[in-house]
């Protein structure tokens, strides 16, 4: 069949299956081949790769992935799209479609079962509400990853690569930059989708870091500290951490740690770098 990237073909498939978009799944299908070429090019996909595609939709990007990759595993939550994908991907013998919720799947099992435990490249067009759980689920699973190349809402992409001190900087920025090297690949305007979303999107590539950028004694505790710092981001670090029941530290202990670091006790979490969060976590843990 003709490629789905052609808007006429996409409209025809949607009409044939009487498909209605569901807002809860954030369904916006790409109709711009230049964007797809950028995604696949930046992800560095070759015939040696297994690509995990999250949310293939009607298979627009999947078709391109099948031609570039050795194997494609496409996980789609909407069961109405499974018969559509059976038609649009019929000519490809290197794709497996699974009807499941990616958040309920074991990423290590995926790598072991479909890629002999070797690192996987992840590609996806993700809706706003599910971006953080999926990205953090991938990172925290400890599964073998090479990269995550995703198209997401511009606002979320900005948060992922934000620097200390800005309004976009927060727990997501720190987590993404601890596990990966983020790089904006393309800005994607609303007219590249069917239907058009109300916001601009960006393609961001997160190259997994096998050697972390900082050393910390207790990774989980550091992220507890980070979450506490940004749960009440307008409060000083002393108050935010001192009030966090999960940390069980007094305000005086936080003040003492900040003093050892040469930082003002009125400082807020948004001013601390990843390295400084690692240092204060180690001090508080002691």
Position 5 scores a pLDDT of 81
Position 41 scores a pLDDT of 94
Position 24 scores a pLDDT of 62
Position 54 scores a pLDDT of 95
pTM of the model: 0.90
Position 2 scores a pLDDT of 73
The ranges assigned to domains in the chain are 7-208, 219-285
Position 1 scores a pLDDT of 60
CATH of 7-208 among 3.40.50.150, 2.60.40.420, 3.40.250.10, 3.10.180.10 = 3.40.50.150
Residue ranges, the chain, pLDDT below 70: 1, 22-26
Position 29 scores a pLDDT of 78
**Domain made up of 219-285: CATH architecture:** Orthogonal Bundle (1.10)
How does DSSP assign the chain, residue by residue? ---TTSHHHHHHHHHHTT----GGGT--EE--HHHHHHHHHHHT--TT-EEEEE--TTSHHHHHHHHHSSEEEEEES-GGGHHHHHHHTTT-SSEEEEES-GGGS-HHHHHHHHHTT--EEEEEE--HHHHHHHHHHHHHHT--EEEEEEEEEHHHHHHHTPPTTSTT-SHHHHHHHHHEEEEEEEEE-GGGEESPPSS-EEEEEEEE-SS-SS--S-HHHHHHHHHHHHHTTTSBHHHHHHT-TTT---HHHHHHHHHHTT--TT-BGGG--HHHHHHHHHHHH-
């Amino acid at each position: 069949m003709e490629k789905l990237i052609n808007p006429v073909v996409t409209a025809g498939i949607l009409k044939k299956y009487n498909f209605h978009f569901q807002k809860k799944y954030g369904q916006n299908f790409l109709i711009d081949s230049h964007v797809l070429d950028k995604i696949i090019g930046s992800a560095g996909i070759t015939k040696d790769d297994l690509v995990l595609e999250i949310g293939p939709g009607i298979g627009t990007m999947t078709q391109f992935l099948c031609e570039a990759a050795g194997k494609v595993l496409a996980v789609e939550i909407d069961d109405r799209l499974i018969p559509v994908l059976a038609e649009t991907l019929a000519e490809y013998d290197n794709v497996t479609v699974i009807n499941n919720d990616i958040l309920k799947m074991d990423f290590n099992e995926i790598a072991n079962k479909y890629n002999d435990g070797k690192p996987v490249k992840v590609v996806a067009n993700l809706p706003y509400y599910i971006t953080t759980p999926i990205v953090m689920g991938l990172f925290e699973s400890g599964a073998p990853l090479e990269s995550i190349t995703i198209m997401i809402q511009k606002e979320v992409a900005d948060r992922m690569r934000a620097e200390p001190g800005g309004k976009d900087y927060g727990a997501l920025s720190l987590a993404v930059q601890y596990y990966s090297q983020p790089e904006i690949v393309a800005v994607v305007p609303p007219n590249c989708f069917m239907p058009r979303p109300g916001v601009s999107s960006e393609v961001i590539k997160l190259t997994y870091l096998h050697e972390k950028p900082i050393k910390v004694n207790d990774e989980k505790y550091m992220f507890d500290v980070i979450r506490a710092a940004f749960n009440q981001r307008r409060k000083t670090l002393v108050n935010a951490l001192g009030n966090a029941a999960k940390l069980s530290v007094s305000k005086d202990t936080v003040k003492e740690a900040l003093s050892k670091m040469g930082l003002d006790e009125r400082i807020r979490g948004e001013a601390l770098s990843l390295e400084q969060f690692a240092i204060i976590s180690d001090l508080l843990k002691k």
